[in-house]
Amino acid sequence: MKTLPGPVIFDLDGTLLDTAPDLATALNKLLLEEGFEPLPLSAVRSMVGQGAVQMIKRGFTESGKLPAEEKLHGKLRKRFLHHYENCYLNETRPFPSVVTTLEKLKEAGHPMAVCTNKSYEMSVPILDGLNLLNYFHGVIGGNSLPTAKPNAAPLEAAIRLTNGSASAATMVGDSITDVKAARSAKIPVIAVSFGYTDIPPYDLGADAVIEHFNELIPAIQKISRTTHH
């Protein structure tokens, strides 16, 4: 019996999309309003991936002043998201070869979904605006469930969206959050080397690291030969 191609679950920021420039614009607008100097893009890159509140928290910590928790979750988050809504498609682009790779995975019969810590309400219009939404069976955002990654639940929910076999699934991400989520869900994980992480990509403990999206399909095939059989 021929086995069906397994589900492939993607992280969003730093994996499929280079969203850091627009996130930096929004964060810097917030910092300027609060009387702080804007941060360089290189500093913002390593702050992405754990949701808006964590990003704001790290941005303010970098500037030397940590706001109160209620202000972080309330006014600051709201203002940050407002700024971000006004710029989220200005400079955000898929990484090189993302589109051709998604096309090939779809043709090969791999069901795909997105599992991100970005809110669902932000993730969907961005994917839609870049004409990528149709590649995926659905999106699990950081607020879709009571817990976000590194908990296994969002990843497991994303696999269920594909109707594919969980035992044949592979996660693709860029950070320790993704690797931990995959380990908790007991599925293999491929890390990209060009994403947003303060831990060097080769130290994340992923099953494979790719330098370019055109290496993804061979990496999935190799993992599937070794772990799924």
d(CA 162, CA 158): 7
d(CA 195, CA 17): 9
d(CA 220, CA 224): 6
- Note down pLDDT in tens along the chain; length 229 residues: 457 899 999 999 999 999 999 999 999 999 999 999 999 999 999 888 778 898 999 999 988 888 888 888 899 999 999 999 999 999 999 999 999 999 999 999 999 999 999 999 999 999 999 999 999 999 999 999 999 999 999 999 999 999 999 999 999 999 999 999 999 999 999 999 999 998 999 999 999 999 999 999 999 999 988 875 5
Residues in the chain: 229
Q: CA 203 → CA 9, 175, 176, 184, 198, distances in Å? A: 21, 10, 9, 18, 10
**Helix residue spans in 93-210 (DSSP H):** 98-107, 120-129, 152-162, 176-185
Q: Are 41 and 199 in contact (CB under 8 A)?
A: no
- Which of the following is catalytic: 11, 13, 22, 207? 11
pTM recorded for the entire structure: 0.94
Q: CA 167 → CA 4, 140, 186, 201, 222, distances in Å? A: 11, 19, 8, 25, 15
Residue 11 bears catalytic tag: yes
- Domains located in the chain, CATH noted: 8-18+94-227 (3.40.50.1000), 20-85 (1.10.150)
What DSSP string describes 97-111?
THHHHHHHHHHTT--
Q: Are 26 and 83 in contact (CB under 8 A)?
A: yes
Q: Is 51 left (phi over 0), alpha (psi -120 to 50) or beta?
A: left
